[in-house]
């Protein structure tokens, strides 16, 4: 039976009517139409579908949409303002941390959550925070460089308060 | 991969959840974080007509009870456990083990109780069965076992919780709620060792809390998780050690050595434990005990790792774990800090 639910995605409220077996990933991509969140393994392994649920990174492919009713969700589209990228996104561009780009939304969201909690992470902190995101092209080094770069640069956009 | 259809219930208390479960019978399943359940529903390893979601319930904050036990709500997430200052101070190996489960996205959702009740794993079981392995295995109500074709009618999958070995090493107890009341069971008796029916948890019961006895605060503990990549992985072998070292002569009065991820349940090395008790642990004894543990513990080859290799891992990591316990304070590196540079 379909259930009415309200998803607050990137500050915007979406009213949806979904069956309970719809995952948050399917709701975001197929019902809301935000395609920045990627569908990878679908089994909670690769991290491509990472979104922030109440500021914490989670895997949207193994989270039911109905369980997110009324909660704040941030997807990759919520980090930039129009064409103005967040400082971590800019750092990704500068470091060349994007090749095919499929893992990038998840990587950037996991990295953003790390930088909000710990604005000056070490390489070890970054590796631990990104362990749940798999990348098949870059070899990870440029991604780690990008997060380090965004961490050492002043990053007001990553500041939770100012972003909202 | 799409999720099959199911009914969805959202009880507002634990009592209501178990009542619902006993009303609906075995077709209903409890879901806390869903990080283990949802993939298993997707690949068909677990089937359920109704999903009883515990998402509306909030976890009680971890605290020390009157008798000094550390009480943890089963719905506490693994992130909360890994970051809790109380748990880091009173049961550091538990925080350490929680920190090493999955990735941060998993830890933010996964619950402690869910981790203890997680589905068994084997190379054949945890994947889609739509396009391969035409005949289902014993675990899926079939008539064969792919990894052990001649092993008799039993499931030889592996129980891969990182938390369970640590809780066994600390002597924890589980509080289990059913519709008629509450019972307390030692975590060691919670696991049956039968791959087909790995838990003594009834189909209409749930774990509500975990109690870690005050005795464990006196223990010297260590946890190691051996993985090939160093993150987002199930263990090849995990080792949890806990010793009580007493008196001026620093003799060991109690010892628990638990090996996880190598069999259908976490295994204790009872004989090896007895050989430490009454002695002062030193390097020579640690080497001897580690060899004893590797001989005693029955290892099932899993996920492509051979029996010999896993036995060697058990020996090496037990030795390292025991040696970490006798390092002078200050030098004591936790597992957490050791592999930060991986």
Does the distance separating the beta carbons of B103 and A58 come in below 8 Å? no
Does the distance separating the beta carbons of B340 and A59 come in below 8 Å? no
What pLDDT score does B287 carry? Answer: 96
What pLDDT score does B119 carry? Answer: 95
Residue-by-residue pLDDT tens, chain A, 164 positions = 899 999 999 999 999 999 999 999 999 999 999 999 999 999 999 999 999 999 999 999 999 999 999 999 999 999 998 889 999 999 999 999 999 999 999 999 999 999 999 999 999 999 999 999 999 998 899 999 999 999 876 544 444 444 43
User: Kind and range of the H or E element at A59?
Assistant: strand A56-59
Q: What angle do CA B102, B29, B192 make, to 5 degrees?
A: 70
**A119 has a chain B CB within 8 A of its CB:** no
CB environment A126-155: b (16+ within 10 A), e (fewer): bbbbbbbbbbeebebebbbbbbbbbbeeeb
**B109 has a chain A CB within 8 A of its CB:** yes
User: Kind and range of the H or E element at B208?
Assistant: strand B206-212
pLDDT in tens, B235-266: 999 999 999 998 888 999 999 999 999 999 99
Out of B2, B7, B340, whose CB is closest to A128? B340
What pLDDT score does B331 carry? Answer: 61
- Residue closest to B175 by CA, chosen among B12, B65, B55, B52: B65
Does the distance separating the beta carbons of A66 and B53 come in below 8 Å? yes
Residues of chain B with pLDDT under 50: 336-342
Out of B42, B102, B104, whose CB is closest to A42? B42
Nearest CA in chain A to B53: A67
CB B169 within 8 A of CB B257: yes
> Considering the entire predicted model, what is its pTM?
0.93
The span from the CA of A56 to the CA of A68, in Å, is: 13
Chain A residues in contact with B43 by the CB 8 A cut-off are: 43
What pLDDT score does A83 carry? Answer: 87
**A47 has a chain B CB within 8 A of its CB:** yes
Nearest Cα of chain A lies from the Cα of B42 at a distance, in angstroms, of 8
**A37 has a chain B CB within 8 A of its CB:** no
pLDDT in tens, B104-127: 999 999 999 999 999 999 988 887
DSSP 8-state secondary structure symbol assigned to residue A40: -
Nearest Cα of chain B lies from the Cα of A25 at a distance, in angstroms, of 11
**B144 has a chain A CB within 8 A of its CB:** no
The residue ranges of every structural domain in chain B are 63-117+158-215, 217-337
CATH match of A87-163 with 3.90.25.10: no
Does the distance separating the beta carbons of A63 and B109 come in below 8 Å? yes
Half-sphere exposure of B35 (CA within 13 A, CB side): 28
- Residue closest to B35 by CA, chosen among A63, A103, A76, A118: A63
What pLDDT score does B330 carry? Answer: 61
Out of A19, A22, A59, whose CB is closest to B105? A59
Asked whether this complex has an ipTM greater than 0.95, the answer is no
What pLDDT score does B1 carry? Answer: 75
> Exposed (0-12), middle (13-18) or buried (19+): which is B197, by Cβ within 10 Å?
exposed
**Long-range CB contact pairs, A88-96, < 8 A, 24+:** A88/A112, A88/A115, A88/A146, A88/A147, A88/A150, A88/A155, A88/A158, A90/A150, A91/A146, A91/A147, A91/A149, A91/A150, A91/A153, A92/A143, A92/A146, A94/A146, A94/A149, A95/A142, A95/A143, A95/A145, A95/A146, A95/A149, A96/A138, A96/A142
Fold assignment, B217-337: Enolase-like; domain 1 (3.30.390)
What pLDDT score does B133 carry? Answer: 64
What pLDDT score does B154 carry? Answer: 87
Nearest CA in chain A to B9: A20
Chain B residues 119-138 with CB within 8 Å of chain A? none
For the CA atoms of chain A, what is the radius of gyration? 15
**A20 has a chain B CB within 8 A of its CB:** yes
Nearest CA in chain B to A125: B340
The residue ranges of every structural domain in chain A are 3-78, 87-163
Task: For B225-280, give the DSSP string.
Answer: EE-SSSSS---SEEEEEEEEEETTTTEEEEEEEEEESSSSS-EE-HHHHHHHTTSB
Out of A42, A124, A129, whose CB is closest to B104? A129
CB A125 within 8 A of CB A144: no
Q: What angle do CA B306, B308, B314 make, to 5 degrees?
A: 105
Nearest CA in chain A to B4: A21
Mutation target vs B (from A3, A5, A21, A134; most B CBs, 10 A cutoff): A21
What pLDDT score does B329 carry? Answer: 65
Out of A42, A50, A62, whose CB is closest to B35? A62
> Exposed (0-12), middle (13-18) or buried (19+): which is B129, by Cβ within 10 Å?
middle
Q: Could you tell me which CATH number the domain at B63-117+158-215 has?
A: 3.30.465.10
Nearest Cα of chain A lies from the Cα of B29 at a distance, in angstroms, of 14
CATH match of A3-78 with 3.40.50.300: no
What pLDDT score does B338 carry? Answer: 44
């Amino acid at each position: 039976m379909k259930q009415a639910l309200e998803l607050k995605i990137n500050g915007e409220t979406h009213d949806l009517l979904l069956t309970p077996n719809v995952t948050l990933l399917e709701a975001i991509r197929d019902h809301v139409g935000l395609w920045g969140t990627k569908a990878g393994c679908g089994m909670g392994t690769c991290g491509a579908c990472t979104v922030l649920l109440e500021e914490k990174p989670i895997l949207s492919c193994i989270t039911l949409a109905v369980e997110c009713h009324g909660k704040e969700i941030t997807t990759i589209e919520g980090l930039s303002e129009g064409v103005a990228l967040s400082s971590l996104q800019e750092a990704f561009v500068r470091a060349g941390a994007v090749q095919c780009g499929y893992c990038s939304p998840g990587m950037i969201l996991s990295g953003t959550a790390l930088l909000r909690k710990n604005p000056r992470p070490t390489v070890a902190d970054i590796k631990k925070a990104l362990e749940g995101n798999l990348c098949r092209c870059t070899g990870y080094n440029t991604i780690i460089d990008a997060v380090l770069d965004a961490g050492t640069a002043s990053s007001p956009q990553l500041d939770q308060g100012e972003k909202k | 991969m799409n999720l099959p259809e199911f009914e969805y219930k959202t009880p507002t208390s634990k009592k209501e959840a178990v009542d619902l479960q006993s009303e609906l019978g075995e077709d209903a399943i409890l879901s806390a974080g869903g990080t283990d359940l949802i993939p298993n529903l997707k690949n068909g390893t677990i089937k359920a007509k109704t999903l009883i979601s515990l998402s509306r319930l909030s976890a009680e904050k971890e605290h020390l009870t009157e008798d000094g036990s550390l009480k943890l709500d089963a719905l506490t997430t693994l992130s909360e456990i890994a970051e809790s200052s109380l748990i880091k101070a009173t049961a550091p190996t538990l925080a350490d083990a929680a920190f090493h489960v999955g990735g941060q996205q998993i830890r933010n959702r996964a619950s402690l109780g869910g981790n203890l009740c997680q589905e068994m794993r084997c190379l054949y079981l945890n994947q889609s069965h739509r396009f391969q392995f035409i005949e289902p295995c014993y675990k899926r109500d079939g008539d064969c076992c792919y990894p052990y074709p001649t092993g008799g009618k039993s499931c030889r999958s592996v129980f891969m919780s990182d938390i369970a070995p640590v809780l066994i090493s600390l002597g924890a107890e589980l509080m289990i709620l059913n519709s008629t009341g509450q019972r307390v069971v030692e975590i060691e008796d919670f696991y049956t060792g039968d791959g087909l029916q790995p838990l003594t948890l009834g189909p209409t019961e749930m774990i509500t809390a975990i109690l870690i006895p005050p005795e464990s605060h006196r223990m010297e503990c260590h946890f190691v998780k051996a993985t090939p990549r160093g993150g987002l992985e199930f263990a090849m072998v995990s080792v949890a050690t806990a010793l009580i070292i007493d008196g001026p002569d620093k003799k060991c009065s109690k010892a628990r050595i638990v090996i996880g991820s190598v069999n259908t349940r976490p295994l204790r090395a009872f004989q090896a434990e007895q050989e430490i008790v009454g002695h002062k642990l030193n390097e020579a004894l640690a080497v001897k005990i580690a060899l004893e543990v590797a001989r005693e513990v029955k290892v099932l080859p899993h996920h492509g790792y051979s029996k010999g290799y896993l036995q060697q891992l058990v020996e090496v990591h037990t030795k390292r774990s025991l040696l970490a316990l006798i390092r002078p304070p200050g030098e004591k590196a936790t597992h957490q800090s050791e592999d930060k540079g991986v």
